Chain A
Amino acid sequence: GQNIDQPTEMTATEGAIVQINCTYQTSGFNGLFWYQQHAGEAPTFLSYNVLDGLEEKGRFSSFLSRSKGYSYLLLKELQMKDSASYLCAVMDSNYQLIWGAGTKLIIKP
């Protein structure tokens, strides 16, 4: 079966750095997405990786290793507004997104 694993919850301190990991086993791979979802709101797109390596976008970076079935989202200079759930999703061979359950990130002052 297809599976996306990410930690359920993480806690970090304002101003610090946090890394949220995602491992996947899917039928085929056509890219990996990270979304941010604040409580009670819709998911919003953060990043997309289809080739191995690091993609940097401001305070957020996303890394992919296809051979290891592994990705991480790196958030730097954490702000209180970064408190949210972070969803990892893989596009499979049918070009459908398979979603992880999300990682709830709690930022403490």
Chain B
Amino acid sequence: TAGITQAPTSQILAAGRSMTLRCTQDMRHNAMYWYRQDLGLGLRLIHYSNTAGTTGKGEVPDGYSVSRANTDDFPLTLASAVPSQTSVYFCASSEGTDTQYFGPGTRLTVL
């Protein structure tokens, strides 16, 4: 199985533009997560979803929004990108509170 896929792999975005990072899993996991990873810092949770139709805010939710219309997809939207959102973004999924499995990541640069 593919597990978790993310798109795009990388992107350069002008400040003020909007963008949606895509995440799809085929493991039928009920929980999904978005993290950002910055040099010297641990992974930080942006938003999460415990099940389709519900979402919650993580540690650093400002400037980001998510939706969970179905089990498989969990897109992350930046409404108006700022340079501080330059980061590597990882999507993950889990069955309940079990082990989280990660997608390959999206490297985003905001100029």
Main secondary structure of the interface of A (DSSP, over half): strand
Which of A10-18, A40-48, A55-63, A70-78 is near enough to bind chain B? A40-48
A96-B58, A101-B40 are contacts. A42–B105 as well, Cβ < 8 Å? Answer: yes
The answer, among A41, A96, A97, for a CB contact under 8 Å with B104, is A41
In the docked arrangement, what's the CA distance between A44 and B102, Å? 7
B53 within 8 A of A: no
Interface range on chain B (Cβ under 8 Å from partner): 10 to 19
Instruction: Flag B39-77 by CB within 8 Å of A: 1 or 0 each.
Output: 011111100100000000010000000000000000000
Instruction: Flag A1-43 by CB within 8 Å of B: 1 or 0 each.
Output: 0001000000000000000000000000010010000000111
User: Could you name 7 residue pairs across A and B whose Cβ atoms are closer than 8 Å?
Assistant: A4-B42, A45-B100, A45-B101, A48-B99, A97-B43, A101-B41, A102-B42
